[in-house]
Amino acid sequence: MSEFKLLIDGKERAGNEGVWEDVFDPATGQAFGRVTHAGKQDLDDAMNIAVRGLAEWSAVPTWERGTILHRSAAILRERKETLGLAMTREQGKPLREAIAEVDRSADFMEWGAEQARRITGDVLTGRDLANRIVIETHPIGVVAAFTPWNFPMALAAKKFAGALGAGCSIICKPSQETPGSVLGLVQALLDAGVHPAAVGVVFGAPADVSSHMINASQISKITFTGSIPVGKMLAAEAGKVMKPVTMELGGHAPVIVCKDMDPEATADFLVTKKFTNAGQICLSPTRFFVESEVHDRFVERFVARAAKIRVGAGTAEESQMGPLASVRRVQAISDLVEDARAKGATIATGGQHMGNSGYFYAPTVLTDIPPEARILHEEPFGPVAAILRFDDEAEMVHQANSLEFGLSAYLFTNDAARQRRLADAMKVGTVGVNDVPTHLPEVPLGGWKESGYGTEGGQQILTPYQKTKFVSYR
């Protein structure tokens, strides 16, 4: 049995209250390890050490910070086979997807390294010759980062890259379901030369850890990736103590397939995107609006391709889709599918748990879905595609924008005017035109409406972790 411990000041330690919980392999449903919970004293120790780490790390010249983060990227790539296998064991995704995630995490560290070297200030001429104004950026302070289980390394890496690049210290609270991925990431940072006091990893009951850390005077910034309900609670807590937050929250992405597209080729492309990571992606395409002229052909091809997806353990070379991450996710998807079925939807393929062990759920396609079905209103976060027919573009756009989600949308048409019109109409932070993009380090990702606020990545990757000061010299 593996043991996953807290990592504070570069040292592993068990939580001082003696609380542990099991970590399960999603492919078998069996526990393969256990993770310790931080007690309040552990959290206080981590935060006090991070205050020291802030002073030490922010004093490192920006060029050297960049060198260290570049080195961490190289270390991640050297270890990607081992780290990828560990990720597959705890999260379930196919090994090739896990290894690709380690590579993307390395990309984020490199991007943070380069942006760290580009930190600049501005100098303004005052209103008279005796005055000069300097505008400076400074690290915001100690960062509390809360990260999820679906991309356990990459979603943490972009927070570490931004915070460390800006000169902050950071304490990450990952999901207990996937503890090893963030520990592997932070070990690479330590081995690269990041000061031990500048990075920490803690585990525990989410509500207990977040409430204690958000209200602590040592914490200056909160960043969270996860669901809308949890994001709202954390933002409310942070608001009480006037602490800035970055929130990347849930999505329920509409996909618009127009009549000028080849429906079979489009279906082939979208099946691959839909069932990556078993659909457990906030950017995953979920609600498919298909124009009537190509609807039937699109559905026929999409269903045929989805039914042929090879589902199995992520370590099996032939697996195209792994299990869901937990028994909780299997139940959530089952509930949504059964609700749709009971209300009259057609299950064109899938719709059931697979196998006698593990958290496998068949790739599922729903058609003829009534408007009141929960799956059209609640983020499915799993291997379920809901396909709808449309004739009226204006009504379809209204439906696509009708939810509180505003993370991403995808549209497929070769009509340039329609591309521009539909892209402009989507009330989301990311639009794919004949594409379903992932979050690369060089682009800023952020949600509209209740899908969050603030962005991560892009030219502004350091901005959430900086504060501004202007100094007037006379």
Which residues participate in catalysis according to the annotation? 248, 282
The sign of the torsion formed by the CA atoms of 64, 69, 70, 71 equals positive
Pairing mode of beta strands 2-4, 169-173: unpaired
Burial 353-378 (b: 16+ CB within 10 A, else e): bebeebbbbbbbbbbebeeebebbeb
* Residue matched to tokens 């490199």: 110
74: nearest Cα among 51, 35, 103: 103
Q: Which residues contact 61 (CB under 8 A, 6 or more apart)?
A: none
Give, in order, the Cα–Cα distances in Å from 444 to each of 248, 252, 447, 461, 464. Answer: 11, 19, 10, 7, 12
Please answer whether residues 28 and 326 qualify as being in contact, where contact means their C-beta atoms are separated by less than 8 angstroms: no
Q: Which residues contact 104 (CB under 8 A, 6 or more apart)?
A: 154, 157, 438, 440, 441
Give strand ranges (E) for 294-367: 346-349, 353-354, 360-361, 364-367
Number of helical H runs and strand E runs in the chain: 13, 23
Distance CA 397, CA 428 (A): 12
How remote is the C-alpha of 35 from its chain's centroid? 22
